[in-house]
Amino acid sequence: METGAANPILCNSVTANKDGWYTFTTGASTTSITLEATTNRPWSASIYSGNCSGFTLVDCDNASGNTAITLTPTVSPNTTYYVRINRTNTGTNSWSGNVCVYDSTPSVSYCTFTSSSSSYWISNFTTTGGSTNINNSTTYSTNGYGDYTSQIVTQTAGLSFNFSVTMDSGTHGINIFVDWNNDGDFADTGEKVYASGSYVSSASGTITIPGTATSGNYRMRVVTNYFSTDPSACGSTTYTEAEDYTIQVAPLTPCSGTPTGGSVTVSPATGNPGSTYNVSATGYTIGAGLTYQWQSNTNSGDGQMWVVLLQHIQTLQHKQLRL
Give pLDDT tens digits for 59-111. Answer: 998 888 777 788 888 888 888 999 888 888 777 777 788 788 877 766 678 88
pLDDT score for 139: 95
Which listed CATH number (1.20.1090.10, 2.60.120.680, 3.90.950.10, 3.30.1360.120) goes with 2-103? Answer: 2.60.120.680
Band of pLDDT at residue 309, cut at 50, 70 and 90: very low
Question: With helix as H, strand as E and coil as C, how does 83-108 read?
Answer: EEEEECCCCCCCEEEEEEEEECCCCC
Residue 16 has pLDDT above 70, yes or no: yes
Cα–Cα dist 268/278, whole Å: 7
pLDDT score for 301: 56
Instruction: Return the domain boundaries, the chain.
Output: 2-103, 109-250, 263-322
Confirm if 136 and 166 have CB atoms less than 8 A apart: no
Give the architecture (CATH level 2) of 109-250: Sandwich (2.60)
**Beta-bridge partner residues of 82:** 23, 48
Cα–Cα dist 145/223, whole Å: 9
E strand residue ranges, 30-121: 33-39, 43-51, 54-63, 69-71, 80-87, 95-103, 109-110, 113-115
Residue 315 has pLDDT above 60, yes or no: no
Sequence letter at residue 77: P
Using one digit for the tens of pLDDT, what is the confidence trace for 241-273? 999 999 998 876 666 677 777 788 888 877 777
pLDDT score for 78: 84
Burial class (CB in 10 A: 0-12, 13-18, 19+), 124: middle
Residue-wise burial string across 51-82, b where 16 or more C-beta atoms lie within 10 A, e elsewhere? eeeeeeebbeeebeeeeebebebebebeeebb
Band of pLDDT at residue 167, cut at 50, 70 and 90: very high
In Å, how far are 71, 93, 180 from 187, measured between CA atoms?
36, 52, 10
pLDDT averaged over the chain? 82
pLDDT score for 73: 87
Residue 314 has pLDDT above 50, yes or no: no
Q: What is the DSSP letter of 143?
A: G
Cα–Cα dist 14/95, whole Å: 8
Residue 26 φ/ψ, nearest 5 degrees: -75, 160
- Of 27-31, 176-180, 239-243, the poorest mean pLDDT is in 27-31
Residue 307 has pLDDT above 50, yes or no: no
Q: Span 285-294, mean pLDDT?
A: 66
Cα–Cα dist 172/121, whole Å: 10
Confirm if 196 and 173 have CB atoms less than 8 A apart: yes
pLDDT score for 162: 98
| Ramachandran quadrant class, 144 (left: phi over 0; alpha: psi -120 to 50; beta: rest) | left
The percentage of residues in the chain with a pLDDT greater than 70, rounded to a whole number, is 83
pTM given for the model: 0.59
Band of pLDDT at residue 41, cut at 50, 70 and 90: confident
Cα–Cα dist 254/28, whole Å: 16
Confirm if 235 and 144 have CB atoms less than 8 A apart: no
Residue 320 has pLDDT above 60, yes or no: no
Q: Span 153-181, mean pLDDT?
A: 95
Band of pLDDT at residue 317, cut at 50, 70 and 90: very low
